Amino acid sequence: MRLAEIEAIMLNVGLALFAGFIFFIIYDLAKKSNAGKFGTVVLFFALGLGLAAFLIKTVVVEYVGNGV
């Protein structure tokens, strides 16, 4: 296995761990602030949009960068 393949795999693993950690932070924020069910949904939606935008940007950059 080449170094580039290992780096690509570790990047995907790192991004997945990063996303999971972000969701944990949002959950913990909702729990500590006693947001309730609706508030928790709003927090996940609003703060999750930032993560979604980051992930979509990564996909678009890869898509455009490969000339597809």
- 27 versus 67: the higher-pLDDT residue is 27
Query: Would you say 23 and 48 are in contact if contact means Cβ atoms under 8 Å apart?
Result: yes
Give residue 67's pLDDT.
62
- 51 versus 68: the higher-pLDDT residue is 51
Give the tokens for residue 37: 């069910």
Phi, then psi, of 55 in degrees rounded to 5: -70, -40
Is the pLDDT reported for residue 62 higher than 90? Answer: no
pTM of the model as a whole = 0.70
Query: Would you say 63 and 31 are in contact if contact means Cβ atoms under 8 Å apart?
Result: no
CA distance 56 to 42: 20
Give the tokens for residue 31: 């729990």
Give residue 8's pLDDT.
87
Query: Would you say 43 and 30 are in contact if contact means Cβ atoms under 8 Å apart?
Result: yes
Domain layout of the chain by residue ranges: 3-65
For 11-48, the pLDDT digits (tens) are 889 988 988 998 899 999 999 999 999 999 999 999 88
